[in-house]
Amino acid sequence: MLEKLQGIKERYDLLSGKLADPGVMADKDAWRDMVKERASLEEIVVVFDEYQKTSDSLDECKTMLGERLESEMKELVHAEIAELEQKLSDLEAELHLLLIPKDPNDERDVILEIRAGTGGDEASLFGADLLRMYLRYAERNGYRVEYLSSNMTDMGGVKEVVLSIGKKRGAFSRLKYESGVHRVQRVPETESQGRIHTSAATVAVLPEVDDVQIDIKDSDLRIDTYRSSGAGGQHVNKTESAIRITHLPTGMVVSCQDEKSQLKNKEQAMRVLKSRLYDFYRSQQDAERAGERKSQIGSGDRSERIRTYNFPQGRVTDHRIGLTLYKLEAFLDGDMDEMIDALILAERSAKLSKEAE
């Protein structure tokens, strides 16, 4: 491990030297790639530097024990050695985690989709609760939110909403754990008998991709236009501005009607299609390489119930890691970091165990 870390430090120092050269700025693409690579190595280098300093201090303390010391001083040195050995062990564990290959999509923006599942009106109202939760989480973390598509009910519930969340590093690294079936248990406002109902909504989180990463041929697309429906004033009934794009090879369909401009709706629909296709092809490759994966943490498997929101007990439970938080109201107000941090730790621990096999 130390040899690998030394190589990373040498690469980091080389990149730092190149970036200090004014001539490198002439090639914008190369300069941008070097900045990105250097940033990806920085955390490892900082921890490795601290590891080396701690190791040197430990060696110095052990050398002091070979000298003639008063008993009181010797006790202090022994205590310092114990403290440094613990610190060195913690730093080594942290370096092991940092050396685990990261998801290349972690720094990307996110396409987040919410769809009402089983449960009728209550499911769509729960979808609206999830929508507000993610909007509040984005606000807390300084993420920019853009509506790409929305289909709401007359009661203010969500049939389907598609958002773009990002413009700040790490959006996908945090939100990717939200993919899956979310279940709610509560007494609906329309329930006169006070019975608890169970309903569900599905969340899909995809990394937003650009033209370089996925190529879509025009011949593979069928583009249909139609008149928008729903809220939006008189305009929705006058022009065929809504767009439906079908990707013929996969049968994937994306619709967008939120914008007044047909061109704008097409652009929004294409953004969603690219991200869905990227996720589709990536999932196929993962299946070919690894077969059926047992762990669902971070895999984006949307067929499994991942979380339950229980209103009578004021709790939210993530079934993947067995964590229950009794702060449902705060959680739905966007205070999600404790849960997300636990999911990240669980995924890292699983990867670390696999590396050790």
DSSP-derived secondary structure letter, 15: H
Q: Which one is the CATH code of 110-212+300-353: 3.40.309.10, 3.40.228.10, 3.30.70.1660, 1.10.3720.10? A: 3.30.70.1660
Element (H, E) at 238: none
From the list 5, 208, 7, 198, the residue with the least C-alpha distance to 117 is 198
What b/e readout covers 171-205, taking b as 16+ CB neighbours within 10 angstroms? Answer: bbbbbbbbbbbbbbebebeeeeeeeebebbbbbbb
- How far apart, in Å, are the Cα atoms of 137 and each of 158, 171, 183, 269, 294? 18, 11, 19, 25, 29
**pLDDT of the residue at 350:** 83
**pLDDT of the residue at 89:** 92
Half-sphere exposure of residue 16, counting CA atoms within 13 Å on the CB side? 11
**pLDDT of the residue at 325:** 97
**pLDDT of the residue at 354:** 72
CATH number for region 2-99: 1.20.58
User: How many other β-carbons are positioned within 10 Å of the β-carbon of residue 263?
Assistant: 10
Instruction: Report mean pLDDT in 10-residue bins for the chain, 357 residues.
Output: 90 90 83 87 93 94 82 87 93 85 84 91 94 96 91 91 85 93 89 84 88 74 80 49 89 84 86 86 64 39 77 96 96 96 88 69
CATH number for region 218-287: 3.30.160.20
**pLDDT of the residue at 302:** 44
Q: Which residues contact 67 (CB under 8 A, 6 or more apart)?
A: none
* Separation between Cα atoms, residue 310 and residue 319, nearest integer Å: 13
| Amino acid residing at 318 | D
Any idea where the domains of the chain sit in the sequence?
2-99, 110-212+300-353, 218-287
State the pTM of this model. 0.69
* Separation between Cα atoms, residue 79 and residue 76, nearest integer Å: 5
